[in-house]
A = this chain, B = another copy of it.
Amino acid sequence: MRIALVAPSCTLKREAADAVDAIVRERGDCALFIHPQCYLSEGHFAGPDRERLAALREVMADPSIDVVWFARGGYGSNRIATAALADLPDAARTKSYMGYSDAGFLLAGMHKAGLRVAWGPMPQDVLRQGGDAAVKRALDWLVREDLKSLEPDLNGPAMAFNLTVLSNLLGTSLEPDLSGVELLIEDVSEHLYAIDRTMFHLTSSENVRRIARLRLGRVGDILPNDVDFGSDELDIVQDWCARSGVPFAGRADIGHDARNKVVPFRR
C-alpha cells in the first residue's frame, strides 16, 4: 500500500510530515511518498497553481500509488480542481483519495468524475492535540478499511463537506449530484451570521433539497458577533432544514479537530 502526499492548498509543515512518517514506519503496513511540492510556498499557497496541479496530476497518473492523501487544507484546491480532472488517466481511477476542509473542492469533483474519495483526517492534523489518533484513524481506513474509523452513524450513501466550501462549489463544474445522499456538514472560524447566510444559500439549492437528510458536525472557533446572534449553530441549521423541507437527522462526528471521522462518499 503506497500513499502519496500532495498539497493542493497550503504548505505542509515539515514537523507534521516527520511525525506522520514515523507513524507509518512504526505500522509497517504502508509506505509514504511525500511529494516535494508539499513544502513549496508561494503567498498563501503550497507553490503556484501550476506546481500544485503538476504534483497532483503526477501522483494521480502514477500506477504505483494506491492512495492520494491531501496533506492539509487551508485554501486553494478549487483553483486547480477543474484542470486536475481533465482527461483522467486510467491510473487515477484505481486509487483512492482522502482529505477534508478545502480539499472538499477536489473530493466533490473527483466523486463526480467517478473516483473513490473519502472525507477524513489529513497529515497536518498530526500537529493537533491528540492528532496521532486522527492520523492513525485515517491510515486504518486507507490501508485496511477499518470500520472503526468511520463516522459512527452513516446510513446509506453519504458525503461530508465543510459548509462554506460546499456553498462555494454549488453552481460550479465541481458540484456533485446530491440526490438521496446523507449530507454531513461542519464549519470552523466563521461568524454565526455567516453560518446562517450560508445555510440560506445551501438550502435554497434544488440539488441540496434532494438529499436524504442532513446532519451537523462540529462548528468550531465561532467568531464573536457584535451582539449575541440570538441562536446557536444547531438552531440555525435546524431552522433552515425546516424552512426548506430538508430532513434534519441530528449531529455528526466530524469537524476541524482530532476527533474528525472518515466519511467515504460511496457506501
Q: Which residues of A contact B (CB under 8 A)?
A: 41-45, 74-76, 78-79, 167-173, 192-193, 196-198, 200-201, 204-205, 225, 227-231
Contact = CB atoms under 8 A, between A and B. Distances in A.
A196 B230 CA distance: 30
A173 B204 contact: yes
B43 A227 contact: yes
A43 B231 contact: yes
A97 to B, nearest CB: 20
Given A75-B193, A75-B196, A196-B75, A201 B44 contact: no
B44 A229 contact: yes
Copies of this chain present:
2
B197 A168 contact: yes
A230 B11 CA distance: 14
Contacts of A75: 193, 196-197
Nearest to A203: B172
A124 to B, nearest CB: 13
Contacts of A44: 192-193, 225, 227-230
Given A45-B230, A76-B193, A171-B201, 16 more contacts: A43-B227, A43-B228, A43-B230, A44-B225, A44-B228, A44-B229, A75-B193, A78-B197, A79-B196, A167-B201, A168-B200, A168-B201, A170-B201, A171-B204, A172-B204, A173-B204
